[in-house]
Chains A and B, each alone.
Chain A
Amino acid sequence: MTTTRRNLFKLTGGAAVGAMLTPAPWRLITDSALWSENWPGIPRPRRGEVTFQFGNCSLCPAGCAVRARCVANQPVSLAGVAAHPLSHGALCAFGIAGHHLPYHPGRLKSGPAAEANQAVRAALGQLRGAERCAVLDLRPGRTASWTYRRAMAAIRNGVYLAPAAPIAINLAAAKTVFSLGAPLFDGWGTPGNVIAARDHFRLIQAEPVESRTAIMADLWLPIRPGSEEALALGIANLLLKEKKIAGLPAGFADRLREFPPTMAAMHSGIGEQQIAALARELQDNGPVLVLGENGSPYAAALNLILGAPGRTLVLRREAPVPDDWKKAAPVADLASVPDGSIRVLLIDESATGEALPWSAIQSKLAEKAVVVTFAWSKEGYGRQAAFTLPTAVYPESLDDIPPAVDSPAAAFRLSAAWVAPPDGVVNPADFVAGLAGLAAKDALQERAAAIRKSGRGSLFVPSSATSTPARDVKPDDFWKMLQAGATWIDDLDANAPAPKLDVPALPAGTASSAFPLVVVVTEPDTPALVSPLLSKVYQESNLRLAPESVALHPSDARACGLETGSRARLETDCGSVAVNVTVDSDVPPGVVQVAGGPGIRKICGASSRARVVRS
């Protein structure tokens, strides 16, 4: 037959129809569905060998143990270590996403290290008279802290400044915990430890707002804002009826007289009988632990009165250090330094701890002072310092984590260092040691050796979840295991003396009318950087107050002319910071509920007062 065009058409047509009858074309269409999955711009997860690594979280002083699931040695998810004697497997929201920090957009990757070094050396060269070179360490007790102290001892007029370490707390020993607004269940101490001990003590929370701790408490006393003092004194009144207590600060007795239970009831809004009952309970149901905001004299006083020292407040030995480290500068308090005397100030904020208001630091600086800060981001003192040098972030930096406040025994553990830090970062300890011509590269290893040599304590190995006496571990294994996330925990020495509890001086009372609002902190102190995924709790739900934001009662908000979402300045006597405002009827009137964040924490100290100004 001849191939005319007509035949050709017929052929193709027939072929097409025939093809339709086979599954082939339909299969093709079905598969094309898969192609539409590859939506442009969506990164594909990497593949690789899955391994597990152990370490400790250095985001906060708790230093919880972490198990990282790694793909090709890159941590992709973090979890607690269940059997861990200190953290008991708990990990907070920040810790769980800690492995994102190296990729945080706000993270510093390079800085003027050379220039800073030059400037500092120049300044050191021309120190006049009593002008000092100071290191401000926000998380004392680390090996790095020892390096600083040694360096400062070696440098002329060197001073080592750090916040006073609080007395260790033995939560396990407490039968009653009376908290004056301490965030026991929200970022206090070691979360896992608190939760583990929870079933053994009765928790009484006196706080104006129903914080997470208040919700978890056995008894919540919704006191009037700023009336912690009144309540404490009211209770102290009742407790002190019979016995006299030594060591109470000057003027305490006078202040006590101002607050008989009736007054306390009037101020705090808690019934007089209830206060009496509370006092009785605290007396009968010991051992008692009274917690207040950091440096609250009233909590300390009550602890003293109730005989907490030696029972719930214990003296903690420090982890051993090499003997040749002993000639080190003493730990000094910033307040003890005369004003205008610091010529060179080196601030290490790479390990978050208690933040000091810049105003307090500023007054101590000499003119032409050189301030260098070592930080993850520009958000901290970087705003004021001349030089901000980037440091390795968690989980890049190899550092040790001192025991948390609720750890009665000394501990030594290393922060996780699973990810290689960028080239631009500086190790603050090395920088400072360099100034003093000190070799501190292997400080951690030296200290580990010293600890092992002491033969004290035991070593917990997370991979096997076993504790072995330190003396049974081979010296070089000891260091290896520490690097693999092991924790050394000191033995409790039975015959340790009760700690000397000195109650801080009472603050000058009478709130100034300039700051009408009482500051209530209900969010944990957030690290300088948090994973972008925390948006789940800050932004994509209203579970937590976002960093650098405050919540006000509708009436107060109206008074300040603010509504939800408006920008404002939070002002205290320590300075001011820009914040976002949320209006919330759950916040009692007269209270400004503040979130975490370096900015806010620097200006909001213990029971401070504030005002919110529209900006």
Chain B
Amino acid sequence: MANAMSDQADKELISRGLKRCSTPRFVLWMLPWVALLIFGLYAAGLCLVKGLNQTNMDNRFAFGLWIFLDLTVIALGAGAFFTGFLVYILKLRELRAVINSAVVIGLVCYSGAVAVLMVDVGQPLRAWFTFWYPNVHSMLTEVTFCITCYLTVLAIEYLPIVLKNRKLREVPAFLVFEFQLHKLTYVLAGVGTFLSFFHQGSLGGLYGVLRGRPFAFREGFFVWPSIFFLFIISAAAVGPSFILLTTCLVQKISRKRLVRVEVLRLLGRISGLMLAVYVLAKTVDTLIWINRTSPERGFPASQYYSWNPFGTWILFAEIVLFGLVPALVLLTPRLRARTGWLVAAAAMACGGVALNRFVMTVQTLALPTLSFDRFLSYAPSWQETGTFLAVVAYGVLVYSFSFRYFRLFPDERELQAAVPPTDTREADPILAGRY
């Protein structure tokens, strides 16, 4: 009885006309993720209480899994700013269909990354020093400032999505505030673009400025090394791809059509375009680096790739296999039209950028700089992995919640008219769990 009532109360929260699974099924879906979150929080707790000796990082591998994945996640989260930019600044109205979802993904990615960073530093209590005694010449300062600001922006952008919830909307104050805030979103989108532009770049700059690490060091102009711009382009390239992926994933899991397939293709096209630009720029940069930058600093570039397992294959994989190939696929209308190809290419693009972040982080640190030190290896400890899994679980939870109670995909209702809803009663609860 009470159950039925709570079920009814729960239904009241779901926007009109959207099909969502029953409350128990939703809870069933959330449970494993909550468990994972708790485990991850325990791991992170260990690192915070006992110190970073819980990780497998060391003086030579000062950065590890966390930094690598943070960079990746933030690059993937770039969809939020880039889509926002396209919708509100370039007025690409078709993308309205995914903007809300993009904002949620962005929020999840950035907040998750920041949370992990807090565990990664040795003295989290002193995090505010960066704001108090900023070294304006440090790329990390730029990153910190921009990311915190942008996280605020994302939170504010997320607010209207929440306030539009059917129940909350009945409160006049919320209704009005949402309405007024929504009118100003373009300002936030603008600011977000500005901020993202800089921190995505400075994340690359982090490595580009390492004069002591010729593998990562790049020339550039003014204060920004070339990687700065490569990171911006690659992030912009992979952002839409990631939205495309997540949308398709949600469609699969929830067994619904959420956006028109044209929107997905558009995302793919934009992604492909940026990716092509990126691959070109990256190639030029690599050539300059191999032939000038690195040799000038006494390091023949050939030697970087003579330490197993980091052979030249990694360069090939990064630029051609996971760069050029998906770019071409996404730019070929005939292939783009095939969802399989579309999704595969998007996935490869994401993989490529992840690989790039991996190389910049791990290979940079693994390579010896002194003639008498050794090529080192590193494998994350379970605490490190666990901490990151917490972020994944957190992401899934926040997204699932938002998907159930907020309108992430405005077109969903119209689209559901087209497909007769499938009966999922006997289907596997998780798969069928349409949130």
Contacts and interface: CB of A to CB of B under 8 A. Distances in A.
Interface of A: 29-30, 33, 36
B345 to A, nearest CB: 46
A36 B126 contact: yes
A32 to B, nearest CB: 9
B385 to A, nearest CB: 24
A169 B123 CA distance: 57
A36 B132 contact: no
Contacts of A36: 123, 125-126
A33 B130 CA distance: 12
B222 interface: no
B125 A33 contact: no
Interface of B: 123, 125-126, 129, 132
* Pairs A-B, 7 closest by C-beta atoms: A36-B126, A36-B125, A33-B129, A29-B132, A30-B132, A36-B123, A33-B132
A457 B137 CA distance: 67
A30 B126 CA distance: 11
Given A33-B126, A36-B125, 6 more contacts: A29-B132, A30-B132, A33-B129, A33-B132, A36-B123, A36-B126
A30 B125 CA distance: 14
Contacts of B126: 33, 36
A29 B126 CA distance: 12
Nearest to A39: B123
A421 B140 CA distance: 53
Q: What secondary structure prevails in chain A residues at the interface with B? A: helix
A71 B156 CA distance: 59
Nearest to A30: B132
8 contacts: A29-B132, A30-B132, A33-B126, A33-B129, A33-B132, A36-B123, A36-B125, A36-B126
A33 B125 CA distance: 10
Nearest to B123: A36
B373 to A, nearest CB: 12
A323 to B, nearest CB: 61
A36 B126 CA distance: 8
A33 B126 CA distance: 8
A30 B131 CA distance: 11
B319 to A, nearest CB: 37
Nearest to B129: A33
B123 to A, nearest CB: 7
A285 to B, nearest CB: 35
Nearest to B126: A36
Contacts of B123: 36
A33 B123 CA distance: 12
A33 B131 CA distance: 12
B115 to A, nearest CB: 21
A407 B125 CA distance: 59
Contacts of A29: 132
Contacts of A30: 132
A508 B254 CA distance: 87
A69 B101 CA distance: 68
A33 B127 CA distance: 11
Contacts of B125: 36
A37 to B, nearest CB: 10
A489 B356 CA distance: 70
A36 B132 CA distance: 14
A33 B132 CA distance: 10
A30 B123 CA distance: 16
A345 B125 CA distance: 61
A153 to B, nearest CB: 59
A532 to B, nearest CB: 18
B45 to A, nearest CB: 18
A30 to B, nearest CB: 7
Contacts of B132: 29-30, 33
B49 to A, nearest CB: 12
A553 B123 CA distance: 43
Nearest to A33: B129
A146 to B, nearest CB: 52
A564 to B, nearest CB: 14
A29 B128 CA distance: 10
Nearest to A540: B59
B51 to A, nearest CB: 11
A29 B131 CA distance: 12
A36 B121 CA distance: 15
Nearest to B128: A29
Nearest to A26: B132
Contacts of A33: 126, 129, 132
Contacts of B129: 33
B78 to A, nearest CB: 33
Nearest to A35: B125
A301 to B, nearest CB: 41
A29 B129 CA distance: 10
B48 to A, nearest CB: 14
B295 to A, nearest CB: 32
B122 to A, nearest CB: 11
A33 B129 CA distance: 8
A346 B126 CA distance: 59
A36 B125 CA distance: 8
A503 B126 CA distance: 70
B371 to A, nearest CB: 17
A36 B129 CA distance: 11
B249 to A, nearest CB: 43
Nearest to B59: A540
B40 to A, nearest CB: 26
A36 B127 CA distance: 11
A33 B128 CA distance: 10
A535 to B, nearest CB: 15
